[in-house]
Structure 1
């Protein structure tokens, strides 16, 4: 007889967060509320920087790529029109950003900003889809300090029996402090991270030169079809 396992959040550290998220289909398209719980003073979209595919090590922000492509830079923009220049010296270069996690510089700057309002309290780093795909019986959550952010990937790799450098393990998918005063979500299928936080934390993030972010709302769409301004 084949044994089946039902994926459940009951009794796990992720239960409160999953219960607070909007369910798909409540609004048109997919929205921020499906990624970050409601009730925060501010919501932000944090963009994952683009890397040139030619091995040059060059990076570009979304605003820079939008300007190069002659496209408006806005909170619901899609990456599609920004991947390649129509002409010019970089016409053959594709610009790629990581899905599922921000680049290292953005990630560390985000942790630095949040640390200024979080203090020394513990932070929880959670893996949901990764844990499910690699056979864990329930979501994997590591309780640490904000300094433990970068070590969460080898943690989940060890838990599911994979090499710490396995390229498909990114994340964490969710992280939040013990007092739940903010939540960061890096969905495996998205090129931006979404944050719910206080107005104070949002101001710090928006002012940080190491982070490219725009204010959003729980109703801001995150799916590719949302970018009406760049679909023309």
Structure 2
């Protein structure tokens, strides 16, 4: 007999956030408001860098790939739109991670957010990753932004190398969401914080809205 597990947020640190997310509606696609709560002045999409599969450590941005392929770089760009057959002889394959913002981008984002968060504590939460790994409730750690990498290491044996899926400071002035199934991270924040992120040379990002599509088929016919 199949066991059905009921996932509850009541009494967890994630309850406030889940209560403010829009639930999926009928129709095609999913949008930012299903990942990040409404009510922020600005929203940003951060693209997870592609890494070469030849072990060289080389990375590639979405913008560079789009320009090479003659594809428009825009806020709803899907990785499926980037022609993977467009590769010079001898060039490696390029891959990026679902549910994990690459290290350089993740650390740069933490630096940007530290400039507006100060000494506040930050919650780092694992939701779907925890459910898939058999946890009884969301896994949440409260620490400082400088401890982000340490938190990831601490919980890696329980939820893998993904996430955190959600992180936010005590004053809830911003929320970062790296969905377990997606190749981009989304941030809700103030206009000033969004500008910090968009200006950072180590982060590939574009402004979005709560109704921007986020699923893999965002800019492709289904």
- 1:102 and 2:101 matched: yes
Deviates further, 169-178 or 48-57: 48-57
- What is the match of residue 14 of structure 2? 14
- What is the match of residue 183 of structure 1? 175
Distance 2:124 2:60 in 1: 28
What secondary structure does 1:151 align onto?
Answer: helix
Match of 2:200 among 193, 208, 221: 208
- What is the match of residue 124 of structure 1? 123
What secondary structure does 1:220 align onto?
Answer: coil
Does the CA-based 8 Å contact 2:81-2:219 persist in structure 1?
no
* Deviation of 1:157 (Å): 3.6
Distance 1:86 1:27 in 2: 32
* Deviation of 1:52 (Å): 1.3
Structure 1 residues 69-125: Cα deviation after superposition (integer angstroms, max 9, x where no partner):
1100000001123363525345x5321111111111100100000110111100000
What secondary structure does 1:224 align onto?
Answer: coil
Does the CA-based 8 Å contact 1:100-1:190 persist in structure 2?
yes
- What is the match of residue 221 of structure 1? 213
RMSD over equivalenced CA pairs, Å: 2.0
Deviates further, 3-12 or 190-199: 3-12
What secondary structure does 1:154 align onto?
Answer: helix
1:14-93 map, 5 Å? 14-25=14-25, 28-82=28-82, 84-89=84-89, 93=92
* Deviation of 1:155 (Å): 2.6
Does the CA-based 8 Å contact 1:131-1:156 persist in structure 2?
no
* Deviation of 1:34 (Å): 0.5
Distance 1:60 1:3 in 2: 43
The 1:72–1:116 alpha-carbon spacing in structure 2 relative to 1, beyond 3 Å, is same
The 1:4–1:80 alpha-carbon spacing in structure 2 relative to 1, beyond 3 Å, is closer
* Deviation of 1:169 (Å): 3.3
**Gap runs ≥5 in structure 1:** 163-167
Distance 1:124 1:26 in 2: 32
Q: TM-score, normalised by structure 2?
A: 0.92
* Deviation of 1:27 (Å): 6.0
- What is the match of residue 165 of structure 1? none
**Gap runs ≥5 in structure 2:** none
